[in-house]
């Protein structure tokens, strides 16, 4: 079993390496085809897009994965059915609301040119919700290679569709050019989900057979969903505030949007690149952590493995100048990359520690810590970028402070886990006892 897990992790690492390379290639091509200003518009829309899909793509897959891993074999599709039903109901509400309020949301971002991108985001709510729940099931039954292959298929399709459309339609107005990456994501996700369903060929019972599982799955999903919503709301507010605060530092509006595109569209994705590896590799171990939480020695071993996945984040420091000068062809990005490089480890370790808390059923404590940290980050985002001597560096300082506080909170919860374990175990026990004997 250990050898199988090691091989599985190695394969997922290789697949995700290709996926991230394709993602970086797409970022480079977009920066050259669109320019910094349109990249800034894309980032503004992306913040709203992520906020819209978060209710269905954060807590639900983790809840389905955890309940599937701890459920009897004959009932393992029941959490999946419950999750799919919840996605349908939520999408019926969220998609019309997204379309109805898109003009108001566009005005709130401070740039109405994001409107076409928001229209393209609405269908993603249902599509990504379905994909997330199926991925949660696959991780729960320890078939974690299939989500990795699906992501590779989606990334290839996203790159092909996006670049193909931009080359075929070179004279698109800025709002519609900025919407092309979102449209490409929607189309690629549809085909990626079709790929998973075709390979999985999972016979499912009628959804009514899992009626009693809906509330337990929802109960386990809500704390993680709440945490992620806070984080995505923070990101959305940041995307709106950063150009405004850069203008307060003395920059013109277009220059401030371009600086946002450079920071959020080019630098930050590189700094967060290790999170993709830590997320995928940790998901392989999360079902095992859920099963081993009453075996301290095995639990420590698995937690240590999760944190080791974050170690390669330090390599970004070495690659930063190459990314700025050779790939993006914007030498002015070099000091931003160098200044922000230490954030890689903070992003990665905070991400891993949050995933471990979810695997141990400590989502509520994680959510409680995210609220004051988000408030602190927003305060710093408001204060620091407005200073002429800081500007984008102030944004990186604010993000670094937030991630450092998040990591400290998560490590504190893990350290004092024995004191908090009773309440989390009781909540978990109540959720599972509602649908099956323990």
What's the token pair of residue 380?
A: 């710093």
pLDDT confidence bin for 282, thresholds 50/70/90: low
Q: 213: which residues sit within 8 A by CB, 6+ positions away?
A: 67, 78, 79, 81, 82, 435
What's the token pair of residue 38?
A: 């349109």
What's the token pair of residue 84?
A: 């799919």
Residue 176 has pLDDT above 90, yes or no: yes
Contact 241, 71 (CB under 8 A): no
- On average, the pLDDT of the chain sits at 82
pLDDT at residue 197, as a whole number:
92
- pLDDT (tens digit per residue) in 42-51: 888 887 888 8
Rounded-to-integer distance, Cα 85 and Cα 144, Å: 22
Q: 71: which residues sit within 8 A by CB, 6+ positions away?
A: 78, 79, 432, 436
Q: 10: which residues sit within 8 A by CB, 6+ positions away?
A: none
pLDDT at residue 99, as a whole number:
92
Give the mean model confidence (pLDDT) for residues 255-284: 75
pLDDT at residue 281, as a whole number:
58
pLDDT at residue 437, as a whole number:
46
How many Cα atoms occupy the beta-carbon half-sphere of 180 within 13 Å? 27
- Longest CA–CA separation in the chain, Å: 64
Rounded-to-integer distance, Cα 339 and Cα 343, Å: 9
Question: What are the CA-CA distances from residue 259 to residues 87, 239, 391 (Å)?
Answer: 37, 11, 9
How far is CA 185 from its chain centroid? 14
What's the token pair of residue 328?
A: 């993006």
Rounded-to-integer distance, Cα 238 and Cα 399, Å: 10
Weakest-pLDDT range from 137-146, 273-282, 358-367 = 273-282
Residue 18 has pLDDT above 90, yes or no: no
What's the token pair of residue 83?
A: 């999750």
Rounded-to-integer distance, Cα 128 and Cα 87, Å: 9
pLDDT confidence bin for 2, thresholds 50/70/90: very low
- pLDDT (tens digit per residue) in 285-330: 666 676 666 677 776 776 776 666 566 556 666 777 787 888 777 8
- pLDDT (tens digit per residue) in 115-152: 999 999 999 999 999 999 999 999 888 787 888 899 99
The two counts, helices (H) then strands (E), for the chain are: 19, 0
């Amino acid at each position: 079993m250990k050898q199988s897990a090691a091989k599985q992790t190695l394969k997922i690492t290789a697949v995700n390496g290709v996926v991230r390379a394709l993602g970086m290639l797409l970022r480079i091509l977009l920066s050259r085809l669109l320019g910094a200003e349109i990249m800034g518009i894309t980032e503004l829309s992306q913040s709203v897009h992520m906020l819209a899909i978060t209710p269905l793509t954060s807590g639900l897959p983790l809840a389905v994965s955890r309940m599937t891993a701890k459920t009897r074999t004959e009932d393992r599709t029941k959490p999946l059915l419950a999750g799919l039903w919840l996605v349908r109901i939520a999408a019926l509400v969220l998609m019309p609301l997204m379309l109805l309020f898109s003009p108001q949301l566009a005005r709130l971002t401070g740039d109405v040119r994001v409107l076409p991108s928001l229209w393209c985001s609405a269908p993603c709510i249902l599509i990504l919700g379905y994909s997330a729940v199926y991925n949660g099931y696959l991780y729960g039954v320890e078939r974690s290679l299939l989500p990795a292959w699906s992501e590779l298929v989606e990334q290839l399709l996203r790159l092909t569709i996006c670049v193909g459309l931009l080359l075929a339609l070179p004279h698109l107005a800025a709002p519609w050019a900025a919407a092309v990456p979102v449209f490409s994501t929607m189309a690629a996700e549809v085909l990626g989900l079709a790929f998973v369903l075709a390979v999985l060929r999972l016979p499912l019972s009628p959804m009514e057979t899992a009626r009693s599982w809906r509330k337990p799955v929802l109960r386990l999903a809500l704390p993680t969903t709440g945490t992620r919503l806070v984080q995505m709301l923070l990101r959305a507010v940041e995307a709106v505030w950063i150009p405004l605060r850069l203008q307060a530092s003395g920059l013109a509006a277009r220059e401030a949007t371009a600086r946002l595109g450079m920071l959020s569209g080019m630098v930050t994705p590189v700094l967060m690149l290790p999170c993709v590896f830590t997320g995928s590799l940790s998901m392989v171990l999360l079902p095992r952590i859920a099963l081993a939480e009453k075996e301290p020695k095995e639990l420590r071993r698995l937690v240590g493995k999760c944190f080791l996945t974050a170690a390669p984040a330090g390599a970004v420091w070495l690659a930063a100048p190459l990314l700025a000068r050779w790939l993006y062809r914007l030498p002015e990005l070099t000091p931003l990359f160098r200044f922000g490089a230490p954030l890689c480890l903070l992003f990665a370790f905070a991400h891993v520690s949050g995933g471990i808390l979810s695997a141990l059923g400590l989502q509520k404590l994680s959510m409680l810590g995210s609220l004051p940290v988000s408030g602190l980050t927003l305060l710093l985002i408001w204060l620091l970028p407005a200073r002429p001597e800081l500007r984008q560096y102030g944004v990186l300082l604010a993000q670094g402070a937030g991630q450092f506080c998040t990591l400290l909170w998560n490590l504190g919860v893990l350290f004092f886990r024995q004191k908090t374990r009773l309440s989390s175990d009781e909540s978990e026990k109540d959720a599972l006892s509602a649908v099956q004997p323990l």
